[in-house]
Amino acid sequence: MTKILVIDDERPIRSVLKEILENEKYEVDVAENGKVGFDLASKNKYDVILCDIKMPEMDGVEVLEKLQSTGVDSPVIMISGHGTIDTAVECLQKGAYDFIQKPLDLNRTLVSIRNAFERSDLVEETKVLKRKIHKGKTTEIIGESKEIAAIKEMISKVAPSDARVLITGGNGSGKELVARQLHEQSSRVKSPFIEVNCAAIPAELIESELFGHEKGAFTSAIKQRKGKFEQAEGGTIFLDEIGDMSLSAQAKVLRALQENKITRVGGDKDIKVNVRVLAATNKNLKEEISEKKFREDLYHRLAVILIHVPSLNERRDDIPMLAEHFIGMICEEQGIPKKTFSKDALDEMKKIDWTGNIRELRNIVERLVILCGNEIKGEEIKLYANPTK
């Protein structure tokens, strides 16, 4: 049910508003002064707050300022029998949703409340969207182990250059984060970062995806399309799982690296491109080369700098920090108070064989957030972390 808080030092006004709003099927709390009203608003979630201005101890403007400073985002409608244009403007500038003069016009008040509900809904939807956008977009590399410290140092040295980097490591180990950090610490940071998952694109489409195509190049090419290399102009292109790329596409990538030019599928015009190329793989490319599955000349073009991302099993000291990071992020995404791990829970997590690396850890933390109480304990790790093992 929609909740409204009425803050007014006049009992008759509190009573009338409470009766009218409850008849409109709203749940209503009342406060006889600003201090009580602020305490209620701090401890409860209200969809709308109606607040008188002239009150003893703490006036309505002070209440509004304190609500704003403490992060209470409920829309506040100010009401006053001594209102002036200057007072109304001051309240609106300080963050009030609306200003209504006494004696209150019932229809005007109800319309303002309904509009405030819509504003409140939009604020909540915006928060949800921000959480969704934020989800999975953290680019910080979490950890203080010597392995991670070495990677961070390498990134700081290499990022300012345009050197190509080949990032190796198992699935879910964090190769994309390394690539994003290389981009974000480079002079290209204001230009696009374009990621291509080479393993997820069918072999017959990879060239069109990377280099674009001209209208009529194939049956479904109904219009010209720019590829990822052109989309990344001035920025960085990240070729993830490049070990899964077809040999024909490898040849074209090699030409792009050698000449800084690409040709769209079905076209004959050379297009100059200015992009930094980063690549990653979970495969042993030396073995792929010996088996004629990967071009040796492309390998040497890509591997100017090599960065290996260790598995989570190789950096177990980072598990508590990673777990705390993920639990904070997941609780924020789900809009719930942050949960915590007991010491024995973190100790149990260090014992797990993390075959899925960081990705597996994040998924397990999300499972624990859903299934456990405010403090996650060691026995719950045993119960829920690896239920199929």
Q: Do residue 266 and residue 226 come from a single domain?
A: yes
- Per cent of the chain over pLDDT 70 is 95
The residue assigned the tokens 């060239």 is 207
DSSP code for 213 = B
DSSP code for 315 = G
Q: What is the mean pLDDT of the chain?
A: 90
CA angle (138 as vertex; 134, 143 as ends), nearest 5: 150
**DSSP H/E element including 285:** helix 285-290
1 pLDDT above the threshold of 90: no
- Let me know if residue 299 belongs to a domain: yes
Per the structure, the complete domain to which residue 377 belongs is given by 313-384
Cross-strand pairs, 8: none
Q: Do residue 172 and residue 23 come from a single domain?
A: no
Q: Do residue 332 and residue 187 come from a single domain?
A: no
pLDDT tens string 17-67: 999 999 999 999 999 999 999 999 988 989 999 999 989 889 999 999 999
- Let me know if residue 368 belongs to a domain: yes
From the list 129, 78, 125, the residue with the least C-alpha distance to 101 is: 78
Q: Which residues in 66-80 are b (16+ Cβ under 10 Å) and which e?
A: bbeeeebebbbbbbb
Q: 0.85 cut: is pTM over it? A: no
What is the predicted pLDDT for the residue at 292?
95
Q: Do residue 152 and residue 299 come from a single domain?
A: yes
Which CATH number do you get for residue 20? 3.40.50.2300
pLDDT tens string 111-146: 999 988 887 777 666 666 655 555 545 678 999 999
Provide the CB-side half-sphere exposure for 75 (13 A, CA): 21
Lowest mean pLDDT among 121-135, 145-159, 259-273: 121-135
What is the total residue count of the chain? Answer: 389
Per-range mean pLDDT, top range of 90-99, 141-150, 213-222: 141-150
68 compared with 389, residue with greater pLDDT: 68
Which residues are CB-neighbours of 211 under 8 A, at least 6 positions away? 227, 229, 252, 256, 262, 263, 264, 265
| Chain centre distance of CA 76 | 29
Please give the order of strands across the beta sheet that includes 3-7.
27-31, 3-7, 48-52, 76-80, 98-101
Q: Do residue 289 and residue 348 come from a single domain?
A: no
Q: Do residue 168 and residue 249 come from a single domain?
A: yes
169 compared with 126, residue with greater pLDDT: 169
- Let me know if residue 140 belongs to a domain: no
- Let me know if residue 331 belongs to a domain: yes
How far is residue 276's CA from residue 193's CA, in Å, rounded to a whole number? 10
